[in-house]
Structure 1
Amino acid sequence: MLNAPLLETDAPSPAEDRLTRRIAVGLALFPFLLLASLIVALLTALPAHAGDEACGGKDLLAGLESSNPAAYAQLLMQGEKVKNGSSRFWKLEKAGQQPNWLLGTMHLTDPRVTELPDQARSAFDNAATLIVESDEILDQQRAAAALMAKPDLMMYSGKQSIKDYLTPEDEKVLEAGLKTRGIPLAAVVKMKPYILTSMVALSPCELARKSSGKPFLDMKLAQEAKAAGKAVKGVETLAEQIEAMASLPNDFHVRSLVSTARYPEYTADVMETTINLYLTGRMGLVLRVSIYFAPEKNPSDARDMAAFEEKLITIRNHHMADRGAPILDKGNVFMAVGALHLIGDEGLVELLREKGYTATPIF
C-alpha cells in the first residue's frame, strides 16, 4: 500500500524525518550496484543475453506531478533542503594547484548514464588522474582474488544456505525473482543474502548487459583512463565494501533481499525514477521519493537502517575524502564515485570543503 500524500501540513518532525530517511535507505540507495557490477562480471555461470532490451520502469515523480500537485510540490521542497543535493558534477579548487573535478556516478550500463555531458567529458579528457571507488574494476583477476581470499564474506560455510533463513513463502518469492533474471536458486543457494540482493536489485536487462560485458559508468571511465595513459586510483577495496555489508545483521539482509524480490515493479520504477533524477541533477530527491512510494515500511527496522546508513554511506564518505585528498592535492584530478556519496552534511562535497577545497556546482 502506498503512502498517504505528504502535504505541507503533514511535514514530519525532525525525529520522524530521520526515521523515515533511514527506513528508505535500504530500498532507495541501491548501494549494492557497484558490488553487483563486479560480481556479475566474475560469475561466469550467469546468463548473458544478446541485445540491448529496454529495462522498463516508470518515472514515479512524473506521474505524481499530474496526479497530486500538492504532494509533488512538497517533495520538491524537501529535496531542495538536502545539502549539495542539486548537482552531480563539481569543480574543486584550492590555491596553488590545478582545478579538480568531482562527478557523482550511477553504477549502471544504461547508455543515458554512461554518456558523459560535454563539460564532464572535457574535464575527464584533460585530467591526468582518475579516482574511482575501487581500481579493482580494471582487473577482474585481482577482484576475483580479493573475493576468494575471504570466501566467508561471499558464501555460507558448511551445510548452511540461504534457505535456512527463509520461510517457505519467502523462498518462493526469492526463487521467482531470481528466475526472471535467468538464475536458478539452486545455483546461488550458498551465497550470502547481500550478494543475492545485488543481483535481484538489478533489472533483468541491466543484469544481461553487465553479464555480456558492457561496462557500467565507473568501469567505462577507468578503462578509458587506462587506455589514455592516465593514472587510475582507488579509494576503497572490494573486500572493504563487502566487509561493510557483512557487518550488518544477517536477518536484516534477508528481509532486504525478500522485500526487493517481492516488489520487482517498485524496484524497477525507483531505478527509472532515480536515473531521471540523476540526469537532471536532483539527487536530493531520491530518498524522499522512495519514502513516498515505498510499498511497505517497518519502523522496527530503524536501528538496522541507521547502522546501514552509517556503515554503507557515512563511514565510506570519510574514507573517500581522507584517502582521496592526498591525490586531489596534486591537482588536475577527475574523481568519480557514487552520486549519493556527494550529498548531505557528511557527504563528500562537504568533507572536501572541510579539507580546504572550494566546491562549485557545474550541473
Structure 2
Amino acid sequence: MFQQFIKPACEIAQRLGDNVLALIATLHVLFALSLIATLLSLSPAHAASDGSCGGKDLIAEMQTSDPVRYAGLQKEAAAIPNGKGTFWKIEKAGVPTSYLLGTMHVTDPRVLAMPKGAATAYETSKTVIVESDEVVDDRKAAATMMMQPQLMMLTDGKSIKDFLKPEEEQKLAEGLKERGIPLAAVSKMKPWMISSFVALPACEMSRKAAGASFLDKKLAEDAVKQGKTLKGLETMVEQLQAMDSLPIQFHLQALIETLELGDTIADVMKTTTDLYLAQEIGMIMPLMKSVSEEKSQSANDGYADFEQRIVTDRNKTMATRARPILDQGAVFMAVGALHLPGKDGLIELLRKDGFTISAVN
C-alpha cells in the first residue's frame, strides 16, 4: 500500500523492501481475486494479543546496533515533505471541509481503528473516495480481471521457468514448496502475483482468508451501507497495468529474494505498521531502502522506474481525478499512506490545486 503498503517485506524490483510499497498500493486488488486464493493452503496462524503478526522492531534494533545508521534514517525522513501524519484536513473557500486518510491495506485491528477524529470525520462526510470503488464487489472485480488475463498470467505459451536460470528455478521451487505452493501450480502466473502471496505474514493472510476486510475495503463497504456516495480514483485494471508495466525479470528477482527473506517478512510488517500507527510515514521508505540495500547487492537496480510507475504516476492520476470531487466538499478520501508524503505526493499536488491541507493530529 502497506501500499499497500507502506511496504511489507517483499521486493518488487530486485530488492526486499520495495515490494512492500507495491503491496500496500495494490494489495486489495490482488486479494479481490478470490480464485487465486485456492492456490494457498494456509496453516492456522494467530495474531498477537494486540493484533500484530509478531516479528521484531527493526528500528529499535537499529537504534541499539547501529545508531549512526539510524541517525541517517532520521535525517532522511525529516527532509521528506508531509512525512508526519496520516490524517489530514482539506479546506477550500466556499465548500464544506473534507478529510484525507492515509491507509494500510491490511486487516490489523489497530489500523482499522483509524487515528483520533477520523471516525467522526467519516460519519459526517457525504462522499467517500477510495483508490478503487470496485473493491466492494469481489465477484465483479474477479470477472473484470478475468477479461484481462494477460495482466495476471503468461499467455504467450511461456512459463516462469523460461525466464530463469537453473539455479534460480531451484531457489524458486524450494521457496514456494516451503510455503505449500508447488511451482508447477503457479508457473503460468505473473511473478508479481505470486509475490503478493508470499510477502505477508501468515496471520495477515489467515485473517483475510477468513473474510476480514482491510481498512480501505471496510470504508467503502460502510459507505454503501450508509447511503454515501462512493467514488474510486482508479480502476483495478489500471492498477494491474501499473504493476504489469515493469519488466518480468524485475519481478522475478523480487519474488526470489522475497522467498529468501523468511521470518524477516514479519519483522518488516511489524516495523512498517508501528511506524504507520505512530504516523511516521516519512520514515517508512528510507527504512525499507536501508533494509533492501543491506540484504541485496542490487538494491538500487530499477528502483527509480518502480517508484515512478507505482507511486508518482499514480499520485498524479489520483490528484487529477480527486480534484472535482473535493471541490464539492464533505469528502472523506482514503488512499495508501505512501501516496501522501513527498514533493510529488498527493498532499503537495492537491495544495498546488488550491486546497489548504493541514495535519489533524
CA deviations 1:85-118 (Å, max 9, x no partner) are 1111100000000011000001111112111233
CA deviations 1:36-61 (Å, max 9, x no partner) are 43333412413466564342221100
Does the residue aligned with 1:31 lie in a helix, a strand or coil? helix
Distance 2:267 2:230 in 1: 34
Give the 5 Å matches for 1:1-363.
27=18, 29-33=20-24, 35-41=26-32, 42-43=34-35, 44-45=37-38, 46-47=40-41, 52-54=46-48, 55-294=53-292, 295-299=294-298, 301-302=300-301, 304-363=302-361
Distance 2:113 2:180 in 1: 28
For the 8 Å contact 2:159–2:188, the answer to whether it is kept is yes
Distance 1:68 1:252 in 2: 30
Following TM superposition, by how much is the alpha carbon of 1:62 offset from its aligned partner in structure 2, in angstroms? 1.2
Distance 1:23 1:291 in 2: 12
For the 8 Å contact 2:127–2:229, the answer to whether it is kept is yes
Deviates more, 1:47-56 or 1:125-134: 47-56
For the 8 Å contact 2:88–2:358, the answer to whether it is kept is yes
Q: 1:194 to 1:24 in 2, by over 3 A?
A: closer
Deviates more, 1:293-302 or 1:68-77: 293-302
Following TM superposition, by how much is the alpha carbon of 1:164 offset from its aligned partner in structure 2, in angstroms? 1.9
Please report the TM-score for the alignment, with normalisation by the length of structure 2: 0.88
Distance 1:199 1:33 in 2: 13
Distance 2:350 2:119 in 1: 22
Q: 1:273 to 1:110 in 2, by over 3 A?
A: same
- Amino acid in the other structure paired with 2:139: Q
CA deviations 1:159-206 (Å, max 9, x no partner) are 311122233433343334434544333322210011111112122221
Following TM superposition, by how much is the alpha carbon of 1:307 offset from its aligned partner in structure 2, in angstroms? 1.2
- Amino acid in the other structure paired with 2:21: F
CA deviations 1:233-262 (Å, max 9, x no partner) are 100011001111111111111111111111
Does the residue aligned with 1:290 lie in a helix, a strand or coil? helix
Identity of aligned residues (%): 46
CA deviations 1:265-292 (Å, max 9, x no partner) are 3332122111011001111111211233
Q: How many residues align?
A: 341
Deviates more, 1:51-60 or 1:191-200: 51-60
Residue 6 of structure 2 is matched in structure 1 by: none
Please report the TM-score for the alignment, with normalisation by the length of structure 1: 0.87
Distance 1:220 1:49 in 2: 25
Q: 1:69 to 1:59 in 2, by over 3 A?
A: same
Deviates more, 1:314-323 or 1:74-83: 74-83
Distance 2:84 2:138 in 1: 34
